[in-house]
């Protein structure tokens, strides 16, 4: 065998070894689920050419869990009180193009209900700083229990705390949803932390207008569909029916069982492990991954949008707001700087226009885009679903502020 043949064999072996290492790295973070979709999107992405300003809808959703790690009542109260105090201070100095402060969507866990905590958060929302939605952790659940739990919680949130709005067409209460442990539609590979293969159908029937769980990477619950807004159709015989679906598009209509609103997901090449391996950018905000200006730019650049309306960009980021290790980041200088960067870089009125939006407003603006509306999305914050009772006072304050 000649030297060239040995070189060729060695090259093949090196290539195989490298491929194996890459595959192991991907599998270690469950990236094999979505990396193909990410690479295809990167290769097919065309430069955005538009003579219209790009409207950036910034939505912060929070897995808000005062009882995290089995905290005692004193700790729970301290967590909620800090949010109600410090978030007002933080948000009150920031405004979007419409004169509104940042809007925080508190997805509160059904299984952690405590009237005094919800009263405080509802008051914060009534002051114009956000809205309440539904979060749920469950395991090995049954359809009957799920229906009863969600229905009861919707009624409680609405009647006792002024949260959730009624669908004008049906009169039923409507809610946005985040699944605890990321396991929407029984999507974890071992079947834990859900138990319902027909969860999308159940959510639709119970009044859920959209799911805001994703992205969930590096969890194996992450879907292969990424950076998208789409309708998923449930297959009650199989889990993870939202792995793919039909993209929401201009001129379309609701197709399937549930709208899935995803946040940005990709690779962060600026922050690499050992200087080599890119970290996953999954729009999570906490102490270990603060909301830097570079991350904000990446989120906007991802360009999540309704097909046919690329000049309306949706940036949905998430957190677990009541964990002490992260609250200094979420309620302090890092998040203050994030909003300052958004207002400086994405609110010049010519190239970009910034809108702070709640989860409900995201849904309304998506539906407006689907219906063919264009121009200023601020006009469509309440396009389908009206504000909940708790935000009427805040809306009145915003209107008076804008008029002034």
Six-digit token pair at 235? Answer: 């297959």
Helical residues (DSSP H) of 163-207, grouped into ranges: 199-206
As a whole number of angstroms, the distance between CA 10 and CA 22 comes to 18
Six-digit token pair at 138? Answer: 């469950």
Q: Decide if 178 contacts 194 (C-beta within 8 A).
A: no
Query: Which CATH code, of 3.40.50.970, 3.10.450.50, 3.40.50.720, 3.20.20.370, is assigned to 51-403?
Result: 3.20.20.370
The DSSP code sequence of 14-32 is HHHHHHHHHHHHHHHTTGG
Q: Is 34 helix (H, G, I), strand (E, B) or coil?
A: coil
As a whole number of angstroms, the distance between CA 99 and CA 378 comes to 11
List all residues 6 or more positions away from 188 whose beta carbon is below 8 Å from its beta carbon.
181, 182, 194, 219, 220, 221
Q: Is 193 helix (H, G, I), strand (E, B) or coil?
A: coil
As a whole number of angstroms, the distance between CA 309 and CA 373 comes to 9
User: What distance lies between CA 12 and its chain's CA centroid?
Assistant: 43
Whose tokens are 């973070």? That residue is 29
DSSP state of 287: T
What residue segments make up the domains of the chain, in order of their start? 51-403
List all residues 6 or more positions away from 191 whose beta carbon is below 8 Å from its beta carbon.
239
What does each of the 404 residues of the chain score in pLDDT, given as a tens digit?
667 665 555 554 554 444 444 445 555 578 899 998 998 888 776 666 567 899 999 999 999 999 999 999 999 999 999 999 999 999 999 999 999 999 999 999 999 999 999 999 999 999 999 999 999 999 999 999 999 999 999 999 999 999 999 999 999 999 999 999 999 999 999 999 999 999 999 999 999 999 999 999 999 999 999 999 999 999 999 999 999 999 999 999 999 999 999 999 999 888 766 556 788 999 999 999 999 999 999 999 999 999 999 999 999 999 999 999 999 999 999 999 999 999 999 999 999 999 999 999 999 999 999 999 999 999 999 999 999 986 544 444 444 444 44
Strands in 193-332 per DSSP E: 208-211, 229-232, 246-247, 258-261, 266-273, 277-281, 312-319
The DSSP code sequence of 327-395 is HHHHTSHHHHHHHHHHHHHS-SSSSEEEEE--HHHHHHHHHHHHTT--S-GGGGTTSSSPPPGGGHHHH
As a whole number of angstroms, the distance between CA 357 and CA 366 comes to 12
What is the model's pLDDT at position 87?
98
């Amino acid at each position: 065998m000649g030297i060239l043949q040995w070189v060729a064999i060695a090259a093949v072996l090196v290539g195989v070894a490298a491929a194996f290492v890459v595959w192991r790295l991907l599998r270690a973070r469950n990236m094999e689920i979505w990396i193909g979709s990410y690479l295809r999107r990167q290769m097919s992405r065309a430069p955005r050419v538009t003579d219209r300003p790009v409207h950036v809808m910034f939505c912060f959703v929070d897995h808000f869990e005062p009882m995290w790690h089995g905290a005692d009542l004193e700790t729970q109260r301290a967590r909620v009180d800090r949010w109600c105090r410090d978030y007002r201070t933080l948000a009150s100095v920031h405004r979007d193009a419409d004169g509104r402060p940042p809007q925080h969507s508190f997805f509160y866990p059904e299984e952690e209900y405590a009237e005094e905590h919800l009263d405080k958060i509802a008051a914060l929302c009534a002051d114009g700083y956000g809205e309440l939605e539904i979060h749920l952790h469950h395991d090995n659940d049954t359809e009957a229990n799920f229906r009863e739990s969600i229905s009861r919680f919707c009624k409680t949130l609405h009647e006792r705390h002024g949260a959730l709005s009624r669908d004008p067409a049906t009169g039923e209460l409507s809610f946005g949803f985040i699944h605890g442990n990321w396991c929407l539609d029984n999507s974890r590979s071992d079947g834990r932390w859900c138990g319902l293969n027909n969860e999308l159908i159940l959510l639709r029937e119970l009044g859920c207008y959209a799911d805001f769980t994703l992205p969930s990477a590096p969890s194996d619950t992450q879907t292969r569909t990424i950076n998208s807004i789409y309708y998923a159709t449930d297959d009650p015989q199989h889990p993870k029916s939202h792995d793919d679906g039909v993209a929401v598009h201009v001129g379309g209509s609701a197709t399937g069982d549930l709208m899935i609103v995803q946040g940005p997901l990709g690779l962060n090449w600026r922050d690499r492990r050992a200087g080599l391996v890119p970290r996953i950018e999954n729009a999570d905000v906490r102490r270990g991954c603060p909301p830097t200006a570079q991350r904000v730019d990446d989120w906007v650049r991802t360009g999540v949008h309704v097909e046919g309306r690329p000049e309306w960009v949706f940036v949905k980021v998430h957190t677990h707001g009541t964990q002490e290790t992260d609250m200094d980041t979420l309620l302090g200088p890092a998040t203050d700087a994030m909003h300052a960067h958004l207002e400086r870089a994405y609110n010049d009125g010519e190239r970009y226009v910034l809108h702070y939006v709640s989860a409900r407003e995201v849904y309304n603006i998506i539906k407006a885009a689907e219906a063919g509306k264009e121009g200023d999305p601020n006009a469509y914050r309440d396009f389908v679903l009206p504000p909940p009772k708790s935000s009427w006072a805040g809306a009145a304050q915003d209107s008076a502020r804008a008029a002034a």
